[in-house]
Structure 1
Amino acid sequence: MVDWSLAVTIGSMLAGDGPSVSRAEADEAVAELRADAGKSTGLVRDFTGLDAPDGTAPVLVVDRPGWVQANADAFQVATGAMMRKMVEKREPGRIAQLVGSKVTGAEVGGLLGFLAGKVLGQFDPFYEPAGRLLLVAPNIVHVERELGVDPTDFRLWVCLHEETHRVQFTAVPWMRDHLFSEINAISETLEPASLLDGGIERVTEAIKSGRNGGSIVDMFSTPEQREILDRVTGMMSLLEGHADVVMDDVGPQVIPSVDDIRAKFTKRRQGIGPLDRILRRLLGLEAKMAQYRDGAHFVRAVVDKVGMDEFNAVWTDAAHLPSKAELADPEGWVRRVLG
């Protein structure tokens, strides 16, 4: 279904190399990010109470092509069941298969190429056996220059957020299997024709009108899939909001300019130009921004009411994860889970 080699080639080409840096500057940034990731582990543990075993998930500092390759690998794992189902539904024919794999490879490559210039860091839960943390050095350097912030402070601030994700998945190992099961549940409900018939027209219409928010997910998901996606949204909003709370609450203890960084970074999250905003909407990145906001509000509200120790009940069972509705009703979650 997908020519992954072509996807990586196109994605890497579109991503580019990032900002111009000398070899010494590049080496310094890589070394500092690795050290900051290690430093962040203890800071996250002390603040959250989550204790991740040592050596469970590696930390990799990568360039943009490295991020593209890592995410192509992750996509293959995440979409494996879905792709197999779509292949079963396709009409036979070697030429059609080859052409189709090239087209989808180019499409995936375009997506990866766009995102490769945006992502600062990412926890990849699909890497065996327990995931891995990716820090995209050229993007971090680009943003710190663009914002005019202190590089040392900004790099530690980014690492606090991303290391929180590594701690979440390694200190709470059932969560990785739970995410896999939700993705497989979506695959089970997949109707390939709904993705293939009239897809181009729907994408074009979404760009023009912003219908349903203009997200690809909104355009193609069935009611059954949306129910699953609502559960995943609750989970991902919790993870992103929790990481944002950690980076902002731990930050003042170790990052002198954290308030300046947060103010400038929040403004940047709104997007830059019209094309950037269209692509963000189409790819669902605007919904991603809402996850940070809604998740952080939920975490702060619960912690303020019951304290961090009681809040950590959220990590003990999949049934304790907040629903999408509970993100806006933290007291409802407290009543349901803590009684």
Structure 2
Amino acid sequence: MDLSRSVRAIADAADASDGAIDWDAVAEAAKGGCEPGDLRMEPAERAAFADDVRAARDGLRAASGVDFDLPGSIEVQHRHHWIDANVDTFRRVLRPLEDTATGGMVPGVARSLNSGTMAVTVAFLARNVLGQYDPLLLAEADPDDHGLYFVRPNIQEAAVELDVGYPRFRRWIAFHEVAHAAEFAAAPWLPGYLEARLESGISSVTDESSLLELARPDRDGGTPVDAFADLNTAMTAVEGYAELLMDRAFDDEYDDLRAKLDARRQGGDPITNLFKRLLGFGMKRRQYERGAAFFTAVADRRDLRTASLVWERPENLPTDEELDDPDAWIRRVA
């Protein structure tokens, strides 16, 4: 790590002229907070990454009955590459909040604090993310130009930490991320659905009176709380379906991988666990677990293709109550 690089970047953020967050400083400071990791690969490993992704596509097509293509952008990255890609995402998502983020503080001081907080967050994520399917929500881009990222140093380190073979673990992660590509291909309405609820929830907290209005219906008949609850329910379905699909489609043994990865999600040293709580990793883990339990029950009672009906239209998403009562969803949808 180069902490002096981080300190310089955040100190310079106070002199930036625009915005509550200096996003260039965030990227620079986050890179100072974590090593990029090794991205040197022999041709055989590059070919293996490509084979993993193709095998995942073919296996997931066969298992789910969903015909889909791979994203337009597939990258094997190190941590600093991931930071550059995701700082742009954070910038898009948080833009509505920036005008209200300084409060009564001196603008330069607030900008440094905001930028420093974001840099710590991004650096922590960059050290932990294994792979990512990026639907480019809120981006002014071709809706089909999604991204698929694999953070090679993190996959390698996780394989050592979990004491599993790197090639098999890397392939299993590919199945998980490509499963997200299958979901979004099967549900062309999904990006717009998520964007609408994300924008509604974020815009509500930029309204000074929003706390007083949380219980009042908005113009669409819902509330800001409803928007975030709907978003959480949808993401529980997204993560849960991918967990089920990656296991059912994987072309090798995975029981040990599943057990060890689940333990990794729950474990960690005290500082790491604190960051996980602050960043909502507990909610993310509950999304994995609750969603996977729901779809496993549906697939066991019927089959995987019945579970895939969730992506036919927004009305087929399980409600919060149905996530804990799969039979109710089956009666309603299947």
**What TM-score range do you get, normalising by the shorter chain?**
0.7 to 0.9
* Alpha-carbon displacement from aligned partner over 1:6-34 (angstroms, at most 9, x marks no partner): 1101111212234xx58456x65444223
Contact map agreement 2:96 2:206 (CA 8 A) in 1: no
SS in 1 for 2:68: coil
Q: Tell me, which stretches of 5 or more residues in structure 2 are unaligned?
A: 1-19, 216-222
The 5 Å alignment of 1:249-328 reads: 249-251=248-250, 254-256=251-253, 258-328=254-324
TM-score, length-normalised on structure 2? 0.82
Contact map agreement 1:302 1:331 (CA 8 A) in 2: yes
Shift of 1:294: 0.6
1:120 maps to 130
Shift of 1:192: 5.7
SS in 2 for 1:133: strand
Distance in 2, Cα, partners of 1:322 & 1:22: 40
Contact map agreement 2:39 2:153 (CA 8 A) in 1: no
Counterpart code for 2:179: T
Please, which of 42, 57, 60 is the counterpart of residue 41 of structure 1? 57
SS in 1 for 2:159: helix
Shift of 1:310: 2.9
Contact map agreement 2:240 2:291 (CA 8 A) in 1: yes
1:17 maps to 36
SS in 2 for 1:165: helix
Residue 191 and residue 22 in structure 1: after superposition, are their counterparts in 2 closer, same or farther (change >3 A)? closer
SS in 1 for 2:36: coil
* Alpha-carbon displacement from aligned partner over 1:110-163 (angstroms, at most 9, x marks no partner): 100011111101111125323211111110011111112111111110100011
Q: Tell me, which stretches of 5 or more residues in structure 1 are unaligned?
A: 196-218
Distance in 2, Cα, partners of 1:22 & 1:276: 25
Distance in 2, Cα, partners of 1:22 & 1:100: 36
Contact map agreement 1:78 1:180 (CA 8 A) in 2: no
Counterpart code for 1:255: D
Shift of 1:90: 6.1
Contact map agreement 1:156 1:255 (CA 8 A) in 2: no
Distance in 2, Cα, partners of 1:299 & 1:4: 39
Contact map agreement 1:37 1:59 (CA 8 A) in 2: no
Contact map agreement 1:57 1:170 (CA 8 A) in 2: no
Distance in 2, Cα, partners of 1:103 & 1:29: 41
TM-score, length-normalised on structure 1? 0.81
Distance in 1, Cα, partners of 2:182 & 2:256: 26
Distance in 2, Cα, partners of 1:17 & 1:187: 31
Contact map agreement 1:63 1:137 (CA 8 A) in 2: yes
Shift of 1:72: 0.7
Counterpart code for 1:275: I
Please, which of 196, 202, 207 is the counterpart of residue 187 of structure 1? 202
Counterpart code for 2:314: A
Distance in 2, Cα, partners of 1:142 & 1:222: 44
* Alpha-carbon displacement from aligned partner over 1:227-276 (angstroms, at most 9, x marks no partner): 2222111111111111111222222xx224x2222222222111211111
2:228 maps to 229
2:22 maps to 3
Shift of 1:193: 5.4
Counterpart code for 1:63: H
Residue 309 and residue 266 in structure 1: after superposition, are their counterparts in 2 closer, same or farther (change >3 A)? closer
Please, which of 156, 160, 166 is the counterpart of residue 141 of structure 1? 156
SS in 2 for 1:159: helix
Distance in 1, Cα, partners of 2:306 & 2:245: 16
Counterpart code for 2:35: G
Counterpart code for 1:36: D
Distance in 2, Cα, partners of 1:227 & 1:112: 28
Distance in 2, Cα, partners of 1:312 & 1:260: 26
Residue 34 and residue 99 in structure 1: after superposition, are their counterparts in 2 closer, same or farther (change >3 A)? farther
Please, which of 107, 127, 130 is the counterpart of residue 117 of structure 2? 107
Contact map agreement 2:133 2:177 (CA 8 A) in 1: yes
1:211 maps to none
Contact map agreement 2:97 2:206 (CA 8 A) in 1: no
SS in 1 for 2:149: strand
SS in 2 for 1:16: coil
Counterpart code for 1:243: A
The 5 Å alignment of 1:58-77 reads: 58-77=73-92
Q: Higher helix proportion, which one?
A: 1
